[in-house]
Chains A and B, each alone.
Chain A
Amino acid sequence: MSSEKRIHQLIEDFIQEERSTESNPFLSTRVMAAIEKQKVVSVRPLSPVWKTAVIVFGLFVAVFSGIAAGNLYQTKSDASDVVLINDNSIENFSFYTQMGNE
């Protein structure tokens, strides 16, 4: 047999052998099971536009709630507190003056 014919025959034999490989007869069952499984598991993903919108909305909510919370805070400046802080009102100076008089 010439070399060219032999090569041609080898290629044909190789192809025939692979062609005759039987696939799994239960493939359709496996495919249907995989599709059913995907139906149960799959949650419809958000589109990129909605994802961006949700992120921007989240940022706005965070910024404005921060500003609102900041505005809610008020510092107390009652006069009575000021008096309490003033040392002069609680310090007993008469004690020192009395000591000096002794």
Chain B
Amino acid sequence: MNEIELIQGILNGNQQDFELLIKKYQPNVFRTVIGLLHNKEDAEEITQDVFIKVYQSLSSFSGKAAFSTWLYRIAVNASLNFLKKRKRAGFWVGLSDLLQIASKDKQAETVLTEKSEKAIIQKAIDGLPEKQRLAFVLAKYEELPQRQVAEILEISEGAVEQLILRAKNNLKKKLGTELEEP
């Protein structure tokens, strides 16, 4: 059964078709979301929200772009919204942390975590400008062709190429100073 038949089936009220659609695209959505959030639990929650949103707004899918492009757009927007909410919440958490006297053990643990290579790489990816980060994640985590990344981000293919190149250079610069061999 192809995409169009699946969508038509879902619009006709066939829930089994929607379950098939979820199973087909779940790994793609999950990989994209985890590439932006770097947390399994959060990524599962957002992936679930993405499919609920897809179910609710499937009737508005015009078919101008490929279904997967439309789905990736929803996943990217949901992840960015989640990050914005977390940033807002993080401000208050940070403020309350400042007011608390942290124990020495906790401080030492934080220093160790921050110094780990994975944390440094994650921080470097998260620190990229938004468009660069999106292009990088879609190209590297999902291994999408530049044409589809361009369609998802609604920019030209040339712009995608530039964004990925800049993202790689920025990562090398950032990590070069932080992961320098002794």
Contact = CB atoms under 8 A, between A and B. Distances in A.
Interface in A6-33: 6-8, 10-11, 14-15, 17-19, 21, 23-24, 27-28, 30-32
A14 B125 CA distance: 11
Interface string B134-169: 000000110000000000000000000000000000
Nearest to A24: B44
A18 B141 contact: yes
A3 B141 contact: no
B7 interface: no
Q: Which applies to chain B's interface (DSSP): helix, strand, loop or mixed? A: helix
B90 interface: no
A15 B23 contact: no
B175 A10 contact: yes
Contacts of A3: 176, 180-181
A15 B18 CA distance: 30
Nearest to A34: B52
Interface residues of B, number: 33
Interface in A34-92: 34-35, 38
A38 B53 CA distance: 12
Nearest to A30: B48
B181 A6 contact: yes
Interface in B8-28: 15, 18-19, 22-23, 26-27
Contacts of A32: 15, 18-19
Given A18-B34, A19-B141, A31 B179 contact: no
Interface in B88-121: 117-118, 121
A21 B48 CA distance: 16
Interface stretch (B35-43, B59-67, B68-76, B77-85): B35-43
A27 B26 contact: yes
Contacts of A102: none
A21 B26 CA distance: 12
Given A3-B181, A10-B117, A35-B55, A23 B38 contact: no
A23 to B, nearest CB: 4
Closest 5 CB pairs of A and B: A23-B30, A28-B22, A14-B121, A31-B51, A7-B175
Interface of B: 15, 18-19, 22-23, 26-27, 30-31, 34-35, 38, 40, 43-44, 47-48, 51-52, 55, 117-118, 121-122, 140-141, 171-172, 175-176, 179-181
Given A18-B35, A23-B43, 6 more contacts: A19-B141, A21-B34, A21-B43, A27-B26, A31-B55, A34-B52
